[in-house]
Amino acid sequence: MSTNTPDPEEMSLDELRAEIEGIDREIVELIARRTYVADTVAQVKEERDLPTTDEGQEQQVMERAGENAERFDVDANLVKAIFRLLIELNKVEQRSNR
């Protein structure tokens, strides 16, 4: 464990909940950043008259998600489900903006 990360076994319930709250905020921030970049990708696709859907790229994203899940010892099905949702939400937004 890194020196900046508190040892969960030495933390109170309130401290643990505060830690989760901070992590949740970071997750939302990362989703917002990812959405911003995906919106930029959508603009580039529109300018170049490229299709909204790129199944090859989606497959690569899903493979990376699974690999990262394994790397961090997280349930790969859960991580892939989250990424599937992110991809679908981006595609819906891309279609509605065209």
Question: pLDDT tens digits, residue range 39-77?
Answer: 999 899 889 999 888 899 999 999 999 999 999 999 999
> Which SS3 state, helix, strand or coil, does residue 48 take?
coil
d(CA 9, CA 12): 8
Please state, in angstroms and rounded to a whole number, the distance separating the CA atoms of residues 57 and 98. Answer: 20
pTM, entire model: 0.78
10-19, 21-30, 35-44, 85-94 — which one is most confidently predicted on average?
A: 21-30
Token pair, residue 39, equals 């919106």
66 contact partners, CB below 8 Å, separation of at least 6: 76, 79, 80
